[in-house]
A and B are shown apart, each in its own frame.
Chain A
Amino acid sequence: MNFKRFITTLIIYFIFWLAYTTSLAANEIIMGIILSTLLSVFTYKSFSQKNPENNIVVRIINLIKYIPVFIIEMVKANLDVARRVINPSLPINPGIIKISTDLKSDYAKLFLANSITLTPGTLTLDVKDNNLFIHWIDIESTDKDIQKNLISGKFEDLLGGIF
């Protein structure tokens, strides 16, 4: 049993328990510890990673850096959709393109795909090996490097640091 992975999973479960119950009564906390321990025993293997590259502090700093970037992109995406929907001429020029990613771990690719879906004008259709297939509502460029920069450039470094 990998103790570090087990403890990380346990702490995350316990934080969720505290947030849901929003109470610090002793019986609630004891029950929470028992339940999170039990759940961690069974699930820590699928909910945590083997040997991530960075240590936990660097990963949390990267996560904190990533959240505002993500929220700004999400608000921009909504304004973008609103602009297209309200415009009477419906300015869209959709196409499906392929971009490659340098991220290795499955979690990082999952989060990259999710982030791409929630950012302006793009929807991830499929992930195969190192390629992401993306439905782009307005093809701005046919050059691979520019496409990659526009779509995933902001996220890749940060996600690489988290996972």
Chain B
Amino acid sequence: MILLTTLGYIMIILGSLFLLLGALGIVRMPDLYNRIQAGTKATTLGALSSIIGVGLVNPNWFFKTLIIAIFIVLTNPIGSHSIARSSYKSGLKPELQSEIDEYKPENIQDERSDLR
């Protein structure tokens, strides 16, 4: 029992650490797409870890926290994907050091790509 509680608190602390790193990433990254990268990954694992940690500290809630975790894993990437896609479609140019951009409208033949 004490072991579970300790494990739970460790997971909550780790989760908040990842959230802090994600916030730092959002400040430091140069453009929106890189910020989303830092934001999505860190917030997903950070939130997962803290929520499951709460479930371990209070075992009555464990199944509920597990379901919340599953929904976060399913929905978080979709949200960031749709923010990134719509920013690209609305004309926000990514800063690409490598200058490789295979998503440019002229590189793909699709009549929807000029719908802005």
Whether A25 sits at the interface, judged by CB under 8 Å, is no
A-B contact pairs, 26 of them (CB 8 A): A16-B67, A20-B63, A74-B41, A74-B44, A75-B45, A78-B42, A85-B25, A86-B21, A90-B29, A92-B29, A92-B34, A94-B96, A94-B97, A96-B100, A96-B101, A98-B102, A117-B80, A118-B44, A122-B37, A125-B81, A125-B84, A126-B103, A128-B110, A133-B102, A135-B84, A137-B37
Q: Quick one: given A20-B64, A22-B64, A78-B45, are A118 and B40 in contact (CB under 8 Å)?
A: yes
Least CB distance from B112 to A in Å reads 9
Residue numbers of B with Cβ under 8 A of A are 18, 21-22, 24-25, 28-30, 33-34, 36-38, 40-42, 44-45, 60, 63-64, 66-67, 73-74, 76-78, 80-81, 84-85, 88, 94-103, 108, 110
Of the residues A82, A86, A97, contact of B102 by C-beta under 8 Å: A97
Of the residues B77, B78, B100, contact of A95 by C-beta under 8 Å: B100
Least CB distance from A70 to B in Å reads 8
**A90, B81: Cβ atoms under 8 Å?**
no
Of the residues B64, B76, B85, B100, contact of A19 by C-beta under 8 Å: B64
A142 to B94, CA, bound (A): 19
**Interface of B: prevailing SS:** helix
Residue numbers of A with Cβ under 8 A of B are 16, 18-20, 22, 74-75, 77-78, 81-82, 84-86, 90, 92-98, 113-114, 117-118, 121-126, 128, 133, 135, 137, 139, 142
Of the residues A81, A95, A98, contact of B98 by C-beta under 8 Å: A95
Chain B, Cβ-Cβ closest to A137: B37
Chain A, Cβ-Cβ closest to B17: A82
Least CB distance from B33 to A in Å reads 5
